[in-house]
Structure 1
Amino acid sequence: MTRIAAIGDLHGHLPPVPDCDVLVLAGDLTPAHDHDPAFQRTWLDTTFRAWLAAAPAGHVVAIAGNHDFLFERAPVDVPELPWTYLEDEHAEVAGLVFWGSPWTPWFFDWAFNAPRGDDEEAFLRERCATAPDRLDVAVVHGPPRGYGDRTAAGLDVGSRAFLDLVDDRRPALALFGHIHEGRGRWQRDGTILANVAAVDLEYALRPEPFLVVDL
């Protein structure tokens, strides 16, 4: 068994990590109050690095999110951290195959936005095509369509491409965040789908921010 502790949408909050084999970070890692890439680099290399070092996790798998501008605008400046960072790629970690992508359907012109008006999601489908045939854990920032993707305004903003990926590859676990008010857990044909957003609409940390799953 591999114990996974998953969390997304930290927005600078760094809660105590439960004991786990793999800590999964589903994007929006950096503080929400300052999107300057230089600030984000310093924060990742100091405060965030210390948090990772203290975490009781055997491995860390992470993606960026739509607030993590450094990863999109200046990827060469992202500090080397003790993790497996995935951007439309996969890796085997603790005996499981992980694939990760930071991209979301267009959403208020943030980082890692698919092109606006791409109704067929051709851009996102190209990213999903990088997922391997064998896939145990999918980590994307934005939700698949119909699962934790409804905003407070009543809009369903999830991706059909990501949902098709889940149906095609059938991972044991699909993790995402992005829509803070959509946090929850579901089952779909043997796959656990979970919106693991750690904060609420006011960017306040939830009382139990981690999802812990044994695979």
Structure 2
Amino acid sequence: MAQSRARRITSPTSIVQLDYEYGIPEAKPESGSWTRFVLISDTHASTFSVPDGDVLLHSGDLTRRGTLHELKRTMEWLYALPHPVKIVIAGNRDFSLDRVWYDDHWQETGKQDKPAVYEPPDPLFELLEGPRAKEANVVYLHNARHSFTAGGREWTVYGSALSPNFGARIRAFGYDAEDADAVVSALPQADILMTHGPPRGILDRTTHNAFAGCPALTTRVSSLRPRLHVFGHIHESHGAYVHEWIPGNRPTAQTARNRTVTDFELVDANPQTVFINAANTPKLAGNARTPRVGSEGFKPVILDLLN
């Protein structure tokens, strides 16, 4: 539990930095060969400073309401970032990228003072998959596996925007509880798993003390055991947890309510999965002052993995 609000989490094969001075995060270890991942999610068309690294992973909610204007703003920002590899998935707020859902529900995606405008698909996917995206080393994944080289080795990643329907909010890429087993059984083995929604019981607690993650996803991840599982969606549970795969030790972790800033170190060398809720748009309980997107408590997460 304490790990999820640690400033820095270390293990023999991973180093997580959740809190650091902008522009001067700790360097990769000098001993051994490491790959630096920088993790963001739920940026909702906001832009902010992002540390450099070998790989940038964005776990969805690129926009707030799925408009072309919002997506263009986000993608121009991502194009300009220096990371040699950038992997992106969508999220439930990226309405127009789920074309099956959107064609039936697009009129519901507006606001009271701003009616919805239908967004045709071609300009949207041109931003994600067109020449400018390719030149900027952006790869958009939806229910797809991808291989890339970074940090001196080849990595595999699988990305899916799907997340469980929770409550009555409008949402894209959603699935109902009765379909969860079938949905998550399609997730294949990969070094890195990117989903928009969290597993149940892992960095998924809302401000109302509900657990919004998917139970079937927790079971599936326990079988797949990727090196990294990154997600977002539940903003208030931004944090990280390093799980050791010991028989009978089911993964579970939540962000501490007091948001204590500490260091946490694991010394065992058992197989591990790093779980990261990388949401950058703040959401805090009660009357707490809301910080800026991507700022204190919701910064991009830096993860170094031993190759």
Is the pair's TM-score, using the shorter chain for normalization, greater than 0.5? yes
1:62-77 pair list within 5 angstroms: 62-72=88-98, 73=102, 75-76=121-122, 77=124
Query: How many percent of aligned residue pairs carry the same amino acid?
Result: 33
Match of 1:92 in 2: 147
Q: Distance in 2 between matches of 1:158 and 1:139?
A: 14
* Superposed displacement of residue 75, structure 1: 4.9
Comparing 123-132 and 155-164, the one that deviates more: 123-132
Q: Which runs of 5+ in 1 are unaligned?
A: none
Query: How big is the shift at 1:161?
Result: 1.9
| Cross-structure match for 2:197 | 142
> How far does residue 166 in structure 1 lie from its aligned partner after superposition?
1.4
Deviation at 1:129, TM superposition (A): 3.0
CA distance in 2, matches of 1:138, 1:111: 20
Residues 1:162 and 1:75: Cα distance change in structure 2 (over 3 Å): farther
Q: 1:101 aligns with which of 156, 160, 170?
A: 160
> Counterpart amino acid of 1:79?
E
Q: 1:128-167, aligned counterparts within 5 Å? A: 128-133=184-189, 135-167=190-222
2:132 matches 1:42: no
The structure-2 alpha-carbon separation of the partners of 1:180 and 1:8, relative to structure 1 and needing over 3 Å to count, comes to same
Q: What are structure 2's unaligned runs of at least 5 residues?
A: 1-33, 103-119, 246-271, 284-289
In structure 2, C-alpha distance between the alignment counterparts of 1:156 and 1:203, rounded to whole Å: 23
- Cα shift readout 1:111-134 (whole Å, capped 9, x = no counterpart): 11113xx2x4xx33333233333x
- Runs (4 or more) in structure 1 with deviation over 6 Å come to none
Q: Is the 8 A contact 1:41 1:79 kept in 2?
A: no
1:113 and 2:174 correspond: yes
Say if 1:124 and 1:80 are closer, same or farther in 2 by CA, change over 3 A.
Answer: farther
Check conservation: 2:230, 2:275, Cα contact below 8 A: yes
Residue number among 281, 284, 294 corresponding to 1:199 in the alignment? 281
What one-letter code is carried by the residue in structure 2 that aligns with 1:25? H
Encode CA deviations 1:130-162: one digit per residue, 9 max, x unaligned: 3333x1111111110101111111111111122
Question: For the residues of structure 2 that align with 1:125 and 1:97, how far apart are their CA atoms?
Answer: 23
Q: Residues 125 and 100 of structure 1: is their aligned pair in 2 closer, same or farther, counting only changes over 3 Å? A: farther
Structure 1 residue 44: Cα displacement: 2.3
Q: Is the 8 A contact 2:46 2:74 kept in 1?
A: no
Alignment of 1:173-192 (within 5 A): 173-188=228-243, 189=245, 190-192=272-274
1:20 aligns with 2:53: yes
Structure 2 length as normaliser, TM-score?
A: 0.61
State how far apart, in whole Å, the 1-side matches of 2:50 and 2:241 are. Answer: 23
Structure scoring higher RCO (CA < 8 A, sep ≥ 6) equals 2
Matched, 1:214 2:304: yes
SS in 2 for 1:212: strand
Structure of larger gyration radius: 2
How many residues align? The count is 202
RMSD over aligned Cα, in angstroms? 1.9
- Aligned mates of 1:126, 1:62 — CA distance in 2: 23
